[in-house]
Structure 1
Amino acid sequence: MAALVAMEDVRAYLQSQESMEAQFEEDVARNPYSIETWTSYLNLLHTKPSGHRLSKERVALFRRALSYVPLSYKLWKRFLDESYALVRGLRIDRPELVELTLLYEDALVHLHKMPRIWLQYLSLLDHLRWGTRTRRVFDRALRALPITQHKRIWGPYLAFIHAQGVASTAIRVYRRFLMFDPSGREEYVRYLLSMELWEEASIQLVHVLNQPHPPSSRHALWMELCSLISSHPDDISSALNVDAILRSGVHLFSDEVGRFWCALATYYMRLGMFESARDVYEEGLAAVLTVRDFSLIFDAYVKFLEALVTAEMQDPTSPELSRTLHLYEDLAERRPLLLNAVYLRQNPHSVAHWHQRIALTSTSASTTSSTPSPILIVQTYTEALKTIDSTLAVGALSSLWISFASFYEAHNDVANARAVFEKARHRLASSFRSLDERAAIVCAQIELELRHGAYDAALEFARAACRQKPVMRSLKLWHLRVDLEESLGDVPSTRSAYEHLIDLKLATPVLVLQFTAYLETHEYFEDAFHVYEKAVQLFPAFPHAKPIWTAYLAAFTHRYQGTKLERARDLYDQVLNVAPVADMADFYKQYAALEEKYGLWRNAQTIYEQATTKVESLPHVQLELYQFYIKKAQQLAGVVAVRAIYERAMGHLPNETVWQLGLEFCRFETLLGELHRARAIYAHIGQCCDPRQHEDSFWSKWHAFEIEHGNEETFLDMLRIKRSVQMLYATVNYIGTAAGALNMVASSTNQAAPTSITSSSTIVPGDAMETLEKEDQTTNDEEIDIDEQPVPEAVVRGKVF
């Protein structure tokens, strides 16, 4: 029963298939140009392929359809794809693949404007390894397709050429491609380099560099060309003007100058043109502007000469061996000069480098040239002075002129030395920017005349220079002028020079003191004092005025002693009104010494008291003054006066210095036998001496005093005072530490209540005292326990007052 049903279904399907085919036949008969009808018909007709070919019925249907619509890309594409799908994977020598190529040829007769068909066809031919036919089909495709679609063909074409590896064919293809796309020239260069076609690669690389905007970095391309030329000169020499190309690279890339020069020299060296290579090295050394390029060329040059020497040594009798060795030695000797020339090319206005060149010339001229050394040095000086622009000079240009003149002087040619200075002086207005340089030239010329005994000429020249602007403002020149006036001139001319110097307001405190010393030497005392008065007006501020006032007061006191005491007092009052506190002590001491020697001790005592009051802001100076005052009082006054000074000082000095003078006061009273007074002084100054800091400087001395002069009661009093002072300073430090801790807690816990801080950080002085006393009991070695430990025997046996 089931078989009957299946047969019925097959019969029904065949009847429907036949009816549909009949219907399509009627449709294509009515409209044979409908691509949709043919496509539907092809979809209906599914016949089994015959091997690796389409069935004859399907091929016939395709042919019928394409005979009506031969330009249908859709039908041709389907026909080709179905045919290709059946032969995919077959060996390349199967006839079915040849038939497929013929089918593509038929399709391209009608679809030669379709790049996809060309590309499929070319892919098939490349698979079949038909090189020549593939290349010809590529050419046909380029001729058939419009130029806008050539880009789709050239990519596979170039890949095919690379795979074939035939250089002549590739060159022709690339030349055609560059007509289409010149930007591919760099890719062409890469291919030529891979094929070791150096000549064509260099030509094309030059073309790439001539483009306005090359695809790669111009610097990288130049470096590649440079390396290519130097590595393969035999292949490139006839194709390019290598010398011109590399020299143009020198001007284009300032940071690679050395590499270009070395490449050019290597090019000539590989061609066997050694003299040309050496000329290039020499030219490069004379042209580079940086030390890096110089080092690169110099090292390559040395290696080149070493290679030549090694080659020449194969034949020791060769005449070229000695010449090459001489060139090698000469290069080594010339290296400092060549390097100096590099610095001068960087900045030809550098005075220091010209000095260096002159020094190198003087040491190397005798060995590197037949020209006498002095002539070369003179030529170098002349070149330097012609080259340097004074407005751009780096360094003192005057030093070059002075060095030039000194060179002539060293060779006993004073006339030319004078001529150099004269020429330098004539260029003063334009050649030297600063006053110091102009003055240096003039002073050097004066010193030249002095060295050769022309004293009068030197003095007259100095006087004339001090009248010329602007060099007359030079302090160096004036120093030399006044020295010459003192040595060679007379008193009026010397005074005139100094007075002119002061009128120009060029004088310094040293010059003023020098002038006054000169006047005092010639006993012009009042004139010297007049100069002092001018000087203190010129230099009213300290510290410049201090040496002037010191010398003025000393000279006045030495001259008049006590005859003009009132005038001297006016001078001291004048200086004390303008002197700062730090400088007052010296002047007060001098003032008091004047009163001690020529006046009254009472006046000196008033001065000392005034001095100790004025310097209160400087405790150590005040202490020193009191000590000096007391020393003088001990020499000139009695014990009562000295004691009064001590008592006054104890009330004026601050705590940081009062204990030092207090110890001296104690020694004074002890020597007088006033032990009660001494002990009271110890007790007084002990209040300001923290035992932790003044144990050795104060408390040990009081301890020794009590051991020697005290008794048990006084010794115990000293210990009680020491303990109370120790507790006092400990309490102060404890409170300060606690206050700092409170501040830190308050800053870190801003939201905490004030009461909580107070309750948790309450300071109990009593507890601090107890703690301190416990620490003292365990750590203080000098403490005496009154209840348990005995008093030292020396104290018990001491005097009882």
Structure 2
Amino acid sequence: MPGTLLAARSQRHHAQVQRTSASEPDLYLISSEDTIYEQDVLRDPGSVKPWLSYIDAKQQQGSMYEQAFVMERACKQLPRSYKLWKMYLDFRIKHMRGRNPAAHRSEYQKVNSLFERALILLNKMPRIWEMYLSFLLQQPLVTQTRRSFDRALRALPITQHNRIWKLYKAFARSASGDTAVKIWSRYMQIRPENAESYIELLIEMGQYTEAIKRYIELLDNPRFQSKEGKSHFQLWAEMIELMVSKAKDINTSAHAGINVDSIVRSGIERFPDQKGRLWAGLATYWITKGNFEKARDVFEEGITTAMTVRDFTLIFDSYVEFEESIIGNLMEQAAHRSANGKINEDADFDVDLRMLRFEQLMDRRPFLVNDVLLRQNPNNVIEWEKRVALWGDNKVEIVETYTAAIAAINPKKAHGKFHDLWVNYANFYEKGGDLDTARVIFDKAVKVPFKSVSELAETWCEWAEMELRNENFDRAVGVMAKATQAPKRSTVDYFDENLSPQQRVHKSWKLWSFYVDLVESVGTLEETRKIYERIFELRIATPQTVVNYANLLEENKYFEESFKVYERGLDLFSYPVAFELWNLYLTKAVDRKIGIERLRDLFEQALDGCPPKFAKVLYLMYGNLEEERGLARHAMRIYERATRAVSDEDRFEMFNFYITKSASNFGLTSTRPIYERAIASLPDREAKDMCLKFAEMERRLGEIDIARTIYGHASQFCDPRTNADFWQKWEAFEVQHGNEDTFKEMLRIKRSVQAQYNTDVNFIASQAIARGQQRAQEGAQGDTEGKERADAMAALERQARAPMGFVAASTGPEGGDRFPPVDQQPSDTVNPDAINLDDDMDAE
């Protein structure tokens, strides 16, 4: 039954199609093969699936018209189906791809109408709008496209607007003109962060006034963050550049609300590190506007307010370039008029006037640079001095500069020597012959609260030197006497910064030194001595003061008085300063040949509390005194004390000196206890050297056993691997004076010492260094010495291989005469206690 109904419905539908064939010729596009799809569509008219199958079949076998026919019917049947409309629209757009919109305008219009039909019920579908708008962008329909974009924005929720604005901005770029500006102005209401792109568009469209307004809005908004990472100054720079380059195209009327001058000046205050660039930009703006006098005013204001040399240089170079261009243009015009036979005296005068102005500008440059540096730091004394030098012989300006400098500089913050400025000011009048004015300046200068006492002291000294240059010796002495006025007993601390320099200057050594030299040159001895005594009373004497005072008395034959000065100085100073005073005092006392007991007392005082590093010189002087004027054994006791009192660095040298003096005065045997004490008190390295000297002395005295004992004692300080020279000397000693038993004992001691050092952890680190030094020393000695050492070792080996006995190299006191020659020994005799010398030599 259902099949019968379906067949009947199909026949009725076919008959209907045939009845309407005269009015709808497209129905002939339905073939007999489509019956099954038609039946599926009739069976389920509200489903999309049969239509999709129908369309798929037509896409595989049907023509383009058949596909369009089926899709059209499907969209009419199911007008709310997004999938069917999407498929149909894609099909129609693809069909129009590559065709000229102008030549096929009617076809494009059909597709537009199709989109309009689709959007009646699918106006909330952003993809349909995107397809429609993209399709419209291909057509020359500006108004329709703009209105369609507006409809899309109204139809879609705001969350989908980004998709539309992406196309809308592209349309605005292509449309350009007022349309683009208006579209972007709407876009900026929802996306203000894209203001930079909007400004770029405005500049492209020639809307410079509006672009500057947008720049101002951005710069006034502290929350604005550039999407391109630009700083506020970069935005300022872009705005200034736009103002300068497009000055004639910008509307600066009151209605527009753009005041370029105030805008740039606000930037100068806001960005002080870019003042030079902004001042030059403002001047360039007026130049572009053609207002040259206003540009000059801006340049002048810039170079007179710049705070850095960099800004000044930038503004000044722009200023010079501007003036040169103006003069160049005027000269070209004048040359052109001359070529045409026309003479314009006013124009020529204008050229001369501008040339004069340009020359004055170049002459002002050093002064302008100096102004910049003084604006940076008005307390810069050096720059004020340079400004004085710039005026040359212009006395009026020099005086005004000195006056301005003194008024501007804060003495406590002065950079440089402020007192030099006062001194040079006074010297300026001195050179002009006006000493009275110079004295007035100095009198004011000594009342200035300088940063340090030394500056005030220098000022007093310069005043006195001025009087000396003009041969006013009494005035010079009077100036220094006034400078050094102080209470009888002054308790002022020279280094107390809470007191003014004027309160502390009387304790300035520089001041008193100049005063005493002055009085010594032009005054009497008594006056000089009073000043020296006053220095000692104020307790500001230095070691140089003591020496100078003592030398002064010595030159005037007051020898005892000079010695007292040295003693007063020694009461003031302790070591190490006292060492130099004692050295001079004792030298002069010895040269004067005063009593021996007094000299001994002085030396004992000098040595009392003397640091070890200064004791050596004093002990040598003391010992030499006893040798020359006293007793030799007193000198020996002094040298013996010196070996205990001197520093470790000088002790070895002192022992050598002591030994030499003892040997020369009392013979070699008297040095034995000295050697023994030296070996006991010196460090190992120096003790080894002392042992070698001691052993050599005993060998010369014929005390071979004592020398051998000394070598044995010294061996504990000498590792065979790092002190090979010691063992070579001992071997040479045994070869010359020993026998087989003593040589064996030496070798035994050598092995024992080596084993001891092998287990010494502290010694391991030094082995590598010592070995490297040994190699360097061996390399420096050369091939000849190496050959001699090889020959000596070969001789030792030959002696060691002797079957019995020991053949010495010489016949000393205990030499080899006690043993028979080798050829008298039985050849088959073997000593069971003999050691293998070859192994010992190889081990070395």
Q: TM-score, normalization: structure 1? A: 0.71
Residue equivalent to 2:341:
none
Match of 2:437 among 382, 393, 416: 416
Contact 2:307 2:375 survives alignment (8 Å): yes
Cα distance in 1 between the residues matched to 2:358 and 2:193:
48
Match of 1:204 among 206, 214, 223: 214
Range moving further from structure 2, 451-460 or 182-191? 182-191
Residues 419 and 113 from structure 1, CA distance in 2 versus in 1: closer, same or farther, beyond 3 angstroms?
farther
Range moving further from structure 2, 619-628 or 417-426? 619-628
The alpha-carbon deviation at position 395 of structure 1 amounts to 3.0
Query: What amino acid does structure 1 have at the position aligned with 2:602?
Result: L
Q: Could you report, residue by residue, the CA deviation over 1:485-515 in whole angstroms, capped at 9, with x for unpaired residues?
A: 3233444443333233223321111111222
Q: Report the count of equivalent residues.
A: 700
The alpha-carbon deviation at position 528 of structure 1 amounts to 3.9
SS of the residue 2:600 aligns to: helix
Whether 1:626 and 2:636 are equivalent positions in the alignment is no
Match of 1:246 among 238, 242, 264: 264
Residue equivalent to 1:389:
410
Q: Could you report, residue by residue, the CA deviation over 1:684-743 in whole angstroms, capped at 9, with x for unpaired residues?
A: 87775989999999999999xx9xxxxxx9946599999987996787467535755997
Q: Percent identity?
A: 32
Cα distance in 1 between the residues matched to 2:561 and 2:238:
86
Cα distance in 1 between the residues matched to 2:602 and 2:418:
49
Matches within 5 A, 1:321-400: 335-355=365-385, 357-358=386-387, 361-362=388-389, 364-365=390-391, 372-400=393-421
Contact 1:39 1:75 survives alignment (8 Å): no
Contact 1:269 1:277 survives alignment (8 Å): yes
Range moving further from structure 2, 134-143 or 443-452? 134-143
Whether 1:439 and 2:457 are equivalent positions in the alignment is yes
Match of 2:92 among 87, 92, 95: 87
Residues 226 and 59 from structure 1, CA distance in 2 versus in 1: closer, same or farther, beyond 3 angstroms?
closer
Q: Could you report, residue by residue, the CA deviation over 1:620-642 in whole angstroms, capped at 9, with x for unpaired residues?
A: 44145326735xx85xx5xxx24
Cα distance in 2 between the residues matched to 1:559 and 1:278:
85
Residue equivalent to 2:306:
288
Matches within 5 A, 1:130-169: 130-139=141-150, 156-165=167-176, 167-169=177-179
Cα distance in 2 between the residues matched to 1:663 and 1:123:
110
Residue equivalent to 1:496:
530
Query: What amino acid does structure 2 have at the position aligned with 1:536?
Result: L
Query: What amino acid does structure 2 have at the position aligned with 1:537?
Result: D
Whether 1:785 and 2:795 are equivalent positions in the alignment is yes
Cα distance in 2 between the residues matched to 1:582 and 1:568:
22
Whether 1:221 and 2:239 are equivalent positions in the alignment is no
Whether 1:265 and 2:283 are equivalent positions in the alignment is yes
Cα distance in 2 between the residues matched to 1:305 and 1:53:
81
Matches within 5 A, 1:230-629: 230-236=244-250, 238=252, 240-273=258-291, 276-277=294-295, 279-301=297-319, 303-304=321-322, 314=332, 335-355=365-385, 357-358=386-387, 361-362=388-389, 364-365=390-391, 372-428=393-449, 432-468=450-486, 469-540=503-574, 542-558=575-591, 561-562=594-595, 565-615=596-646, 617=648, 618-623=650-655, 625-626=657-658, 629=661
Range moving further from structure 2, 218-227 or 107-116? 107-116
Q: Could you report, residue by residue, the CA deviation over 1:574-604 in whole angstroms, capped at 9, with x for unpaired residues?
A: 2211112222232223333444454444433
Structure 2 residue runs without a partner (length 5+): 14-41, 56-64, 339-347, 487-502, 766-784, 800-805, 818-844
Q: Could you report, residue by residue, the CA deviation over 1:17-69 in whole angstroms, capped at 9, with x for unpaired residues?
A: 8999xxxxxxxxxxxxxxxxx9985338959897746789777767xxxxxxx
Whether 1:172 and 2:177 are equivalent positions in the alignment is no
Range moving further from structure 2, 192-201 or 218-227? 192-201
Residues 312 and 624 from structure 1, CA distance in 2 versus in 1: closer, same or farther, beyond 3 angstroms?
farther
Q: Could you report, residue by residue, the CA deviation over 1:211-254 in whole angstroms, capped at 9, with x for unpaired residues?
A: 34334231221121122233333323746433332232222223
SS of the residue 1:89 aligns to: helix
Contact 2:75 2:81 survives alignment (8 Å): no
Query: What amino acid does structure 1 have at the position aligned with 2:581?
Result: I
Residues 731 and 443 from structure 1, CA distance in 2 versus in 1: closer, same or farther, beyond 3 angstroms?
farther
Contact 1:466 1:472 survives alignment (8 Å): yes
Residues 205 and 662 from structure 1, CA distance in 2 versus in 1: closer, same or farther, beyond 3 angstroms?
closer
Cα distance in 2 between the residues matched to 1:495 and 1:719:
81
Match of 2:674 among 649, 661, 672: 649
SS of the residue 1:561 aligns to: coil
Contact 1:585 1:611 survives alignment (8 Å): yes
Contact 1:52 1:96 survives alignment (8 Å): no
Contact 1:612 1:625 survives alignment (8 Å): no
Query: What amino acid does structure 2 have at the position aligned with 1:346?
Result: Q
Cα distance in 2 between the residues matched to 1:523 and 1:693:
62
Cα distance in 2 between the residues matched to 1:10 and 1:584:
139
Residue equivalent to 2:200:
190
Residues 254 and 592 from structure 1, CA distance in 2 versus in 1: closer, same or farther, beyond 3 angstroms?
same
Residue equivalent to 2:780:
none
SS of the residue 2:576 aligns to: coil
SS of the residue 1:780 aligns to: helix
Cα distance in 1 between the residues matched to 2:182 and 2:272:
38
Query: What amino acid does structure 1 have at the position aligned with 2:398?
Result: I
Residue equivalent to 2:32:
none
Query: What amino acid does structure 2 have at the position aligned with 1:569?
Result: R
The alpha-carbon deviation at position 649 of structure 1 amounts to 3.5
Contact 1:719 1:783 survives alignment (8 Å): no
Structure 1 residue runs without a partner (length 5+): 1-7, 21-37, 63-73, 367-371, 707-712, 745-774
Contact 1:561 1:598 survives alignment (8 Å): no
Residues 695 and 89 from structure 1, CA distance in 2 versus in 1: closer, same or farther, beyond 3 angstroms?
closer
Cα distance in 1 between the residues matched to 2:307 and 2:583:
60
The alpha-carbon deviation at position 184 of structure 1 amounts to 4.5
Residues 623 and 94 from structure 1, CA distance in 2 versus in 1: closer, same or farther, beyond 3 angstroms?
same
Contact 1:585 1:621 survives alignment (8 Å): no
Whether 1:42 and 2:46 are equivalent positions in the alignment is yes
Residues 218 and 365 from structure 1, CA distance in 2 versus in 1: closer, same or farther, beyond 3 angstroms?
same
Cα distance in 1 between the residues matched to 2:697 and 2:123:
133
Query: What amino acid does structure 2 have at the position aligned with 1:387?
Result: A
Contact 2:133 2:145 survives alignment (8 Å): yes
The alpha-carbon deviation at position 308 of structure 1 amounts to 5.5
The alpha-carbon deviation at position 646 of structure 1 amounts to 3.5
Contact 2:427 2:438 survives alignment (8 Å): yes
Residues 616 and 145 from structure 1, CA distance in 2 versus in 1: closer, same or farther, beyond 3 angstroms?
closer
Residues 783 and 235 from structure 1, CA distance in 2 versus in 1: closer, same or farther, beyond 3 angstroms?
same
